[in-house]
Amino acid sequence: MIGDYKPFVEEAVIREIEILAKRLKGIKVLHVNSTREGGGVAEILHRLVLLMNEVGVKTDWKVIKGDKKFFTFTKKLHNLLHMPGRFEIDSEEVVYYLKITYENFERIDTENYDVVIIHDPQPMGLIAKKVKGQKWIWRCHVDTSTPDPAAWKFIETFINAYDACIFHMPEFVYEKIKIPTFTIRPSIDPLHPKNVDLSPEEIKKIVSVFGVDPEKPIILQVSRFDRLKDPFGVMRAYRMVKKKYASQLVLLGGFAPDDPEGEEVFRELKEQAEGDKDIFLLNLPPDSHREVNAFQRAATVVVQKSLREGFGLVVSEAMWKGKPVVGSNVGGIKRQVVHGVTGYLVNTVEGAAWRIRQLLANAELRESMGNHAIERVRHRFLIIRHLRDYLLLISKLISSAPIL
């Protein structure tokens, strides 16, 4: 299967991975997270675990089990790590977390692995099972730069027992971490239905189904219907652009039936869009991968105007399709978009409108930025690089030399 990636990266890169993997022969690796379906972590693990096994590193993936009460607490913890002050943690919740963690001790065998990689806070307490000679890594997918003190205190109970931790970028790291802190970017899979090549006919057919004119410029944002993604700002920017350029705006996303805020945002957007037949609000089911793919490929300019963002891999998805991205200067967006080279970083609605206009006006600029965008993703944000980073980190950790 690793051979399937040869069209996307140099053959020498695959060879280097194979050399690295040979060093890890006989090593057993375990990934643990909280869900097998849904979300970026599960999506990456599905392919990463297969690839690790394919290159000869025996790798398993297990999922922690918990009930609603457990996951309500861990969701709260996640939010508190991301942004302080909205909730409090009480001791009853902590005790319940420990109880569920203890129940998972029986279910999840960690002893038979040389390296255990724990994703996010939910399974973090499994570290209590660590035995001599093992290396445990905490892979944090959350921005913890300004955590709620109580939430961080909870994390601190466990984190320093790990051998290393991984964050997406230094900006996400809380300054009080004492263990070696690696930064590994997340990645996209070029073989995922979201990213595979589509024929021009299929692209046209898909966007036309939704009433979008494939021949007229399309400004696209793909994101949940969430205020933090600033769809209202995108709509304002589009209105400024539309004074000069006939174009269409597609806001493509979704909201779960149990997400009242998403529904409210969608309704408000609908009200604001009323009367403009060139605005398309598409609320699609989460498995609409080919549709998202087609819209990204059909887009003239892709926008990601989040007010706050984790990593925002949707930016890399668009870049991989050769699209210049106008993105907010926040979170992981600023690590993906190289301002003036693969797109533009903006701080305001006005800035977004101006940059969209610049791109709509200049097909050559779009093409050149799009080509740079593809190359940037090829080197920095494909799963092959992610695989290599994990193999290298494991190799470093199990070698006798201390990391720091």
Nearest residue (CB) to another protein, 329 versus 358 = 329
Whether the CB-CB separation of 252 and 365 falls below 8 Å is answered with no
Q: Which helix (H) or strand (E) holds 394?
A: helix 383-398
For residue 308, state whether it binds another protein (rule: CB under 8 A): no
Give the nearer residue to another protein in terms of CB position, either 98 or 403. Answer: 403
326 sits near another protein (criterion: CB under 8 A): no
Between 302 and 393, CB nearer to another protein: 393
Q: Per rule CB under 8 A, is residue 184 in the interface with another protein? A: yes
Q: State yes or no: residue 95 binds another protein (CB under 8 A).
A: no
Could you give the CA distance from residue 393 to residue 181 in angstroms, rounded to a whole number?
11
Contact 337, 315 (CB under 8 A): yes
Q: For another protein, how many residues bind (rule: CB under 8 A)? A: 37
φ, ψ dihedrals at 154, nearest 5°: -65, -45
- Judged by beta carbon, residue 204 or residue 366, the one nearer another protein is 366
Of 219 and 369, which has the nearer Cβ to another protein?
369
The DSSP H or E segment spanning 31 is strand 28-33
Closest approach, Cβ 14 to another protein, in A, equals: 9
Q: Which of 309, 378, 384, 386 binds another protein (CB under 8 A)?
A: 378
Q: What is the contact mask toward another protein in residues 149 to 178, using x (rule: CB under 8 A)?
A: ------------------x--xx-x-x-x-
Helix, strand or coil, per DSSP, at residue 128: helix
Among 47, 135, 323, 372, binds another protein (CB under 8 A): 372
Q: What is the DSSP letter of 28?
A: E
Report the residue from 4, 10, 111, 287 that binds another protein according to the rule CB under 8 A. Answer: 10
Given 2, 16, 75, 272, the residue binding another protein (CB under 8 A): 16
For another protein, the binding residue among 87, 96, 182, 245 (CB under 8 A) is 182
- Outline where DSSP puts E strands in 66-209: 115-119, 135-139, 164-167, 181-183
Q: Is 281 in the site for another protein (CB under 8 A)?
A: no
Round to whole Å and give the CA distance between 341 and 350. 20
Give the three-class secondary structure for 305.
coil
Question: Coil, strand or helix: which one is 345?
Answer: strand
Binding pattern to another protein, positions 112-151, x when CB under 8 A?
----------------------------------------
- Among candidate residues 254, 192, 200, the one with its CA nearest the CA of residue 223: 254
Q: Does 19 bind another protein (CB under 8 A)?
A: yes
Place of tokens 């097909």: 363
By CB under 8 A, tell whether 375 contacts another protein. yes
> What are phi and psi for residue 286, nearest 5 degrees?
-65, -20
347 counts as binding another protein under rule CB under 8 A: no
**Could you say whether residue 365 binds another protein (CB under 8 A)?**
no
Q: What is the Cα–Cα distance from 191 to 197, expressed in whole angstroms?
A: 9
Q: Determine which residue in the list 35, 53, 79, 181 makes contact with another protein, applying CB under 8 A.
A: 181
Among 342, 125, 312, residue whose Cα is nearest residue 229? 312
Distance CA 327, CA 304 (A): 5
Pseudo-torsion of CA 12, 169, 321, 224, nearest 10°? 150
Comparing CB distances to another protein, the nearer of 162 and 225 is 162
Interacting residues toward another protein by CB under 8 A: 10-13, 15-16, 19-20, 167, 170-171, 173, 175, 177, 180-184, 338, 340-342, 372, 375-376, 378-380, 388-389, 392-393, 395-396, 403-404
